[in-house]
Structure 1
Amino acid sequence: MPRVLVDAAAVPADRGALTRYVDGLVAGLARAGADLAVVCQRADAERYARLAPSADVITGPVSITHRASRLAWEQTGLPLLARRAGADVIHAPYYSIPLASGLPTVVTVHDVTWFTEPDRSPRASFFRSATRTAVRVARRVIVPSKATRDELVRVLDADPTRIDVAYHGVDHTQFHPPSDDEVRRAALRCGLHDRPYVAFLGALDPRKNVPNLIRGFAAAVRHLESPPALVIGGGVHEADVDAACREVEATVKVVRPGYLGAADLPGFLGGALVVAFPSRGEGFGLPVLEAMACGAPVLTTHRTSLPEVGGDAVAYTEPDAGSIAAALGDLLAAPERRRRLREAGLARAREFTWDASAEAHLSSYQRAIE
């Protein structure tokens, strides 16, 4: 089995989707018996040692906590460290790679919305440049869905024979149908006081479509005698989201608790009437999978990778506010349908494991070496 060095130095501290991807992958690789080394920031060393007890966990210099320093170190320090560690292949799990490592390099490209949704981030130009370079230079490119593979080919004219699809998994220990106590604790954290709610969890960049979710939710519940709240978990306060909140009537309750800790997520997702994720496009759609694993009925869009994740186990809407209002209103009025979606979502979520993802990654590493 080849010796693999996973560069986890770029993983942020926010416990977002990238962190959960690298954590799940490293643990899955360790369970598969991979000959594994993980390079990370010093603050993360204990976590990776716990996730992969058989791996060599190597800490980079203190300076890599700063983005510019990390990118410079990636080009010089990382290749040197990989050779010292005896690596046969380097896996860069976040767009950018060392350009002259002297070793086969595999890169994960999570999505191409930096190209198709250019207004999503002030750093989009950096990610577009990094993605173009990585796709050109890396031996293999790993993507989390067939939709992302097809978009890479369409947008960047990438060579499809060098792209490997490896679906994400879900940590079924962390994301599970919650107990009553977990639901109550999450509701208290959000200040709901036993009020039913519709949940959203994720970043608030434009492609997540949160303003249209707010407008659609308001239209769906304005005539209800006891309307649920809309709880927007995670992310930061964006101007468009603030503006959409100001548009809705005072009787429509929108709660923004901010960042939710990992312990709160099963209760938050599993305790919702519906988890709404009307994104305009995703590389995979980890929040949809995690919500299904928590037993939540999910409403999402039939865009890019989301049908690959949700299949027939979720409800779908178009991303405009009117369609969201109609689809959400139908779900809120149909408890039996929500129950069926809960059961179907739980069953489908069991099909996505980090062990299966790790096996797909190991196959990609072997192809890179060959």
Structure 2
Amino acid sequence: MPPNWGGVARYIEGVLTGLQELGELVHVVAKPADVERLRSVAPEHEYHASPASVARRPVRFVWEQVGLPRLARRLGAAVIHSPHYTHPLVTRAARVVTVHDATFFTDPGVHSRLKRVFFRFWIRRAGAVADVLIAPSRATAEAVASSVRVRRARMLVAYLGVDHSVFRAPGAGEVASFAAHHGLDTATGWIAFLGTIEPRKNVGALVRAHAALPAAPPLVLSGARGWDEDALAVLDALPDDGRVIEAGYLPLDELAPFLGGATVVAYPSLGEGFGLPVLEAMACGAAVLTTPRLSIPEVGGGAVAYTEPDEAALADSLGRLLDDPDRRASLGVAARQRAAGFSWAACATVHAHAYTEAEERR
């Protein structure tokens, strides 16, 4: 589990809650620090703590190859599901591997060289040795199939879900409290962005597009500073006038008022394996402006506004949406309706089928 409990953690939590809802109980192996939190979310599964030393990444990779297969044998596990690319290369168990993203092949320039080499290797190995691959969208499944020689695996698409108890339309009081806590004005509103500042999120273009709209409300960025040198240079050069606010990681219980209370949620990504922030914003009833890249139209459908990702198109599309409150309201209603069709139970149903199929294929 990543330290910030971001997208991958929400996927793992969601699948575990969905499997529990279906009565499909599994053995869950996690770092000692993560076991109790996962158990509090989905208590009916059986939990096993890995050695504490796996908190160090090199140790985790070694233990995943040696200790995890041994634990699986001891438990009599027929299938090992590796939910984030890396997986045991040698094991008697059938293997299911989740491949979240194919942009390491389709748009390699948005990743560092180390990431490209690392994830391409593991995706290729998954195609060679896994019994079933799970992808979060058709776009990702098709891109993996066209980029990797899939020798054994069947590819299944499991759309991610959303926790509708967390990501929901916020009340006016919640929005007002959030705004007051963060120095925002509900009368003025704000433009929200949720995600790590990495190259494919296209934050630099968003900041420049926002600067071209002097009457626009403040742009609030929630997430970590990543490795997007262009965006970081733009942000570091901004005057300290409150027009762009880096809020860092917001607590989970603040995301509904942050997203649902925003005038617009802008997510100008160059490509996603799924686009969970788009779905989460939709579930909060936000008017979302995003791009028609890779998997995003599978998530947003006709319930979001689309723009090309360049600065000029972003400024034009954002400006028109800010000037059209009726369209924003209409998008918010449509977004909630569409988001209601994405559930972790449906996602978990595909996973349960993957486990059964992997065992049968082995």
> Secondary structure of the residue that 1:24 maps to in structure 2?
helix
- 8 Å CA contact 2:127–2:152 kept in 1: the answer is no
Count the aligned residue pairs: 356
Alignment of 1:189-338 (within 5 A): 189-194=181-186, 195-219=188-212, 221-222=213-214, 224=215, 227-236=216-225, 238-245=228-235, 253-338=243-328
State the shift of 1:308 in Å: 0.1
Residue of structure 1 equivalent to 2:117? 125
State the shift of 1:333 in Å: 0.4
- 8 Å CA contact 2:128–2:153 kept in 1: the answer is no
Alignment of 1:12-91 (within 5 A): 12-91=2-81
> Secondary structure of the residue that 1:35 maps to in structure 2?
coil
> Secondary structure of the residue that 1:164 maps to in structure 2?
strand
Identity %: 46
> Secondary structure of the residue that 1:27 maps to in structure 2?
helix
Q: Distance in 1 between matches of 2:125 and 2:344?
A: 28
Cα shift readout 1:135-174 (whole Å, capped 9, x = no counterpart): 2111110000000011111222436971100000000011
Residue of structure 1 equivalent to 2:154? 162
Alignment of 1:95-174 (within 5 A): 95-115=85-105, 116-121=107-112, 122-158=114-150, 162-174=154-166
Residue of structure 2 equivalent to 1:5? none
- 8 Å CA contact 1:117–1:207 kept in 2: the answer is no
State the shift of 1:35 in Å: 3.0
> Secondary structure of the residue that 1:123 maps to in structure 2?
helix
Q: Distance in 1 between matches of 2:127 and 2:78?
A: 20
Change (3 A) 1:118 1:97: farther
Q: Distance in 1 between matches of 2:158 and 2:312?
A: 35
**Larger displacement relative to structure 2 (153-162 or 83-92):** 153-162
Q: Distance in 2 between matches of 1:235 and 1:243?
A: 15
State the shift of 1:56 in Å: 0.6
- 8 Å CA contact 1:313–1:348 kept in 2: the answer is yes
**Larger displacement relative to structure 2 (24-33 or 183-192):** 183-192
Corresponding letter in the other structure for 1:330: R
Q: Distance in 1 between matches of 2:339 and 2:353?
A: 23
State the shift of 1:182 in Å: 2.2
State the shift of 1:322 in Å: 0.5
State the shift of 1:133 in Å: 1.1
Q: Distance in 1 between matches of 2:340 and 2:76?
A: 36
Q: Distance in 2 between matches of 1:159 and 1:193?
A: 56
Cα shift readout 1:307-334 (whole Å, capped 9, x = no counterpart): 0000000000001001101110110000
- 8 Å CA contact 2:89–2:129 kept in 1: the answer is yes
Corresponding letter in the other structure for 1:36: V
Q: Distance in 2 between matches of 1:228 and 1:94?
A: 37
Q: Distance in 1 between matches of 2:197 and 2:263?
A: 21
Residue of structure 2 equivalent to 1:186? 178
State the shift of 1:192 in Å: 1.8
Q: Distance in 1 between matches of 2:149 and 2:293?
A: 21
Gaps of 5+ in 2: none
Q: Given the alignment, which residue of 302, 326, 329 partners 1:339?
A: 329
State the shift of 1:30 in Å: 1.0
Change (3 A) 1:160 1:250: farther
Change (3 A) 1:250 1:103: closer
Corresponding letter in the other structure for 1:192: L
> TM (normalized to structure 1)?
0.92
Gaps of 5+ in 1: 1-10
Cα shift readout 1:20-47 (whole Å, capped 9, x = no counterpart): 0000001111111113110011111112
Cα shift readout 1:205-254 (whole Å, capped 9, x = no counterpart): 100000011111222x22x3xx3001111121643223223666777811
**Larger displacement relative to structure 2 (192-201 or 34-43):** 192-201
**Larger displacement relative to structure 2 (240-249 or 354-363):** 240-249
- 8 Å CA contact 1:153–1:159 kept in 2: the answer is no
Corresponding letter in the other structure for 1:29: L
Corresponding letter in the other structure for 1:288: V
